[in-house]
Amino acid sequence: MVEAIKRFLDFLAREKGFSNNTIAAYRNDLGQLATFVAAETGQKGDLDWARLDRPLLLNYLLTLREKGYSPATTARKVAATRSFLAFVVAKGMLTNNPAHGLSAPRVDKSLPVAISVAEVEALLRQPAKHDAPEAKRDRAMLELLYATGIRVTELVSLNLSDINLRAGFVRCLGKGSKERIIPVHRKAAQAVRAYLDEARRHLLGSSQENALFLNRRGQRLTRQGFWLILKGYAKKANITTEISPHILRHSIATHLLHSGRMNLRELQEFLGHANISTTQVYTQVRAQSPR
């Protein structure tokens, strides 16, 4: 079963273009399934696929509930199981799919959280109070993230060749390796230019790293590193909402739509949403007022 999971993950990466984060989530969920199946069937080697039947899967679902997983987490694990077993059937390892029609717990979708324009402005002012190379980098990242609405994974994946400040755009690869060309307004472009001219070489040192945004060791900044940076500035800006990179993305989407600067179709393209229904949720979102 472990080998089948590896083949499935390779399929998702190479043919479906899933992101590294999505692949990691599938690997974790299917690893848990494999551990459960091995324990229940007593098999330590390759799985006898005939042993993987409907009662065993229902028992797996019951175990997830007993462990206290949230409906959203359980639904994700069930979805991973269904996709994996459909792949196994398609490859001829299993004749019938025991997960066919397997239901997951209903997940009530909550509206995205957005902070106010005033809170965003307070957040963006924080790194400008300092002159260190890291502060110039942080200001460039925050300005670029809010100006373009790109995802944090897209932000930290940017290379030097992906941004053209003279033409005023950034190129990023979104979900499914879909390329987007996004305009960068003057203020964000100025912050990135200041970082490139005055700070990046100090972080780079002797490294040959091609990433746009670097950590203090001259390596590509990680998602986790950016998250910690963002939380630190949010605290300094007295933002009480639990902040995350995605909340900034929700915030710019909300601000653009409700200010009339973009309509739904334009916002869909801007955010890189495959379906307009994903974008429509922002018609119901209102930025939270500062407390």
The catalytic site residues sit at 151, 175, 246, 249, 273, 282
Q: Which residues of 203-231 are buried (b: 16+ CB within 10 A; e: fewer)?
A: beeeeebebbbbbeebebbebeebeebbe
C-alpha 76/C-alpha 59 separation (Å) is 17
Structural contact between residues 168 and 183, judged by C-beta atoms closer than 8 angstroms? yes
Torsion region of 143: left, alpha or beta (phi above 0 gives left; psi -120 to 50 gives alpha): alpha
C-alpha 24/C-alpha 22 separation (Å) is 5
User: For the chain, first and last CA: distance in Å?
Assistant: 52
C-alpha 195/C-alpha 221 separation (Å) is 14
Which amino acid does the sequence have at 4?
A
Beta strand extents in the chain (DSSP E only): 163-164, 169-173, 179-183
Cα radius of gyration (the chain): 22
Q: Which 3 state secondary structure label does DSSP give 69?
A: coil
Token code pair at residue 248: 């900034």
Residue 43 gets which letter from DSSP? -
Token code pair at residue 130: 């300092």
Structural contact between residues 135 and 115, judged by C-beta atoms closer than 8 angstroms? no
Which helix (DSSP H) or strand (DSSP E) does residue 143 occupy?
A: helix 133-148
Structural contact between residues 95 and 89, judged by C-beta atoms closer than 8 angstroms? yes
